[in-house]
Amino acid sequence: MRFVGSFLFPESASNLAPNVDHIYLALLALSTAITILVLVVALFFCIRYRRGSKADRTPPKGTPMRIEITWTLIPLLIFLGLFFWAAEEFFAMSRPPADATEIYVVGKQWMWKIQHPDGRREINELHIPVGRPVKLVMTSEDVIHDFFVPDFRTKQDVVPGRYTTEWFTPTKPGKYHIFCSQYCGTDHSRMVGWVYVMEPAEHARWLQRQPAPDSLVAQGERAFHSRGCSGCHVQSSAIHAPLLDGIFGKPVPLKDGSLVIADEQYLRDSILLPNKQIAAGYEPLMPTFQGQISEEELNAIIAYLKSLGDQPRQEGER
């Protein structure tokens, strides 16, 4: 049985996998039942009413209305049930827990670049401890990619110009495929990698073997100064620019009267496309950094901005 299982199912290695597998099995059972029903009935009719067989062929009386309504409503109700079940699970898949470790992922033709909060970087490999929720904040440098880990049963497109997220809690130590599953050009099929899920102790040993760079926040702080952001975005500046302490996650009033939540997308757009949304009470003076700043540096700056001020979510990042 285990052998058959490993032939039909990928490893179940995240908190999401059992739930997805349950819905899948339910669908499989339903589909098999319907297929067998249709095939058996069709086969029975084909044999019983084959040409020349001795069977009663008096045309059935009455309208088939009742039958039609029955076989319209029953599938509809079953499908609705399935919809709600799967939608609920999908909703959970889209809502990362607050204490998840935030790891930045940048896709480019044809590799995955990964930035951990402690500043470590990896290419095409992701080392994480078992049992800790992980939230990937992903963007692309060029075309659309997709970060797919079959053993975790999750994937998400990685879209240039915006951040997408994906989360999971690995439940089983091991080595799992990363596939790019959105076609992205010549070496699409070589844009693959591995997730290494490790026991916490083993993960700690792995961490020690790596050179310890500055944390992502520290890297971001450095960039914040070297890129000249701190020239304007401080209290003492002669230029009237918004202060950024504690801005992340807060509503920002805009010049045109609307409100936006200062999420990753807003911070990104403000750096790359500063005139897209202008904060109320400020002049559009900020220069654009489009084309001058790499996605990784941008991620570091955003991580730094998120760390500023009264943030509830700190412990996972330092």
Partner 1 sequence: MPDVLAVPIEHQFDDATQQREAATMGMWLFIATEILLFGGMFLGYTAYRHAYPSAFAEASRHTLIAFGGTNTAVLLISSTVMAFAVRAASQNRRKLLGLLLFVTASLGVLFLVIKGLEYAHEINEHLLPGRAFHIDAADPQHAELFFYIYWLMTGVHALHVTIGVVLITFFAFRAWFRDAFRNHDTPIELLGLYWHFVDIVWVFLFPLIYMIDRHS
Partner 2 sequence: MTTATLQAAPQPRPLTKPTYLADGKTIRSWLLTTDHKRIAILYMISITLFFFIGGAAATMMRLELLTPQGDLVTSETYNKLFTIHGVVMVWFFLIPSIPTVLGNFLVPLMIGARDVAFPKLNLASWYLFMAGGAFAVFSIITGGVDTGWTFYTPYSSTYANGHVIAMATGIFIAGFGSIATGLNFIVTIHKMRAPGLTWFRLPMFIWTIYTTSLILVLATPVLAITLTLMALERAFGVGIFNPAMGGDPLLFQHLFWFYSHPAVYIMILPGMGVVSELIPCFARKQMFGYRFVAYATVAIGVFGFLVWGHHMFVSSQSIYAGMIFSILSFAVSVPSAIKVFNWTATLYKGSIRFQTPMLYALGFVGLFTIGGLTGLFLACLAVDVHVHDTYFVIAHFHYIMVGGMVMGYLGGLHFWWPKITGRLYPERLAKLSAVTIFLGFNLTFFPQFILGYLGMPRRYPVYAPEFQVLNVFSTAGASILAVGYVLPLAYLLWSLRWGRVAGPNPWQATGLEWTTSSPPPTDNFEKTPIVTEGPYAYDAQAAEAELEAGHA
CB of 102 to partner 2, least distance (A): 17
Q: Residue 130: which of partner 1, partner 2, none does it interact with, CB under 5 to 8 A by kind?
A: none
Binding partner of residue 143 among partner 2, partner 1, none, CB cut-off 5 to 8 Å per kind? partner 2
Q: Are strands 174-180 and 192-198 parallel, antiparallel or unpaired?
A: antiparallel
Cis peptide before 206, with omega less than 30 degrees from 0? no
Q: CB nearer to partner 1: give 139 or 219.
A: 139
284 binds, among partner 2, partner 1, none (CB under 5 to 8 A by kind): partner 1
Q: Cα-flanking dihedrals φ and ψ of residue 267, to 5°?
A: -65, -45
> Binding partner of residue 278 among partner 1, partner 2, none, CB under 5 to 8 Å per kind?
partner 1
Q: Does 256 interact with partner 1 (rule: CB under 8 A)?
A: yes
In the complex with partner 2, the residue whose CB is nearer, 149 or 216, is 149
With respect to partner 1, which residue has the nearer C-beta, 21 or 269?
269
Q: How many CB atoms lie within 10 A of CB 126?
A: 23
- How many angstroms separate the Cα of 316 from the Cα of each of 82, 116, 144, 209, 301? 36, 11, 29, 21, 17
Contacted by 10, from partner 2, partner 1, none: CB < 5 to 8 Å by type? partner 2
Residues 48 and 57: their CA atoms lie apart, in Å, by 10
**Cβ atoms within 10 A of the Cβ of 225, count?**
10
Of 20, 30, 206, nearest to 118 by C-alpha is 206
CB of 277 to partner 1, least distance (A): 9
> Can residue 240 be called a binding residue for partner 1 (CB under 8 A)?
no
CB of 209 to partner 2, least distance (A): 27
Examine residue 56 and tell whether it contacts partner 1 (CB under 8 A): no
Contact positions with partner 1 (CB under 8 A) in 268-307: 273, 275-276, 278, 284
Burial letters for 28-50: b for 16+ Cβ neighbours within 10 Å, e otherwise?
A: eeeeeeeeeeeeeeeeeeeeeee
CB 162, min distance to partner 1, A: 12
3-state secondary structure of 204: helix
8 Å CB contact between 95 and 16: no
Binding site for partner 1 (CB under 8 A): 255-256, 273, 275-276, 278, 284
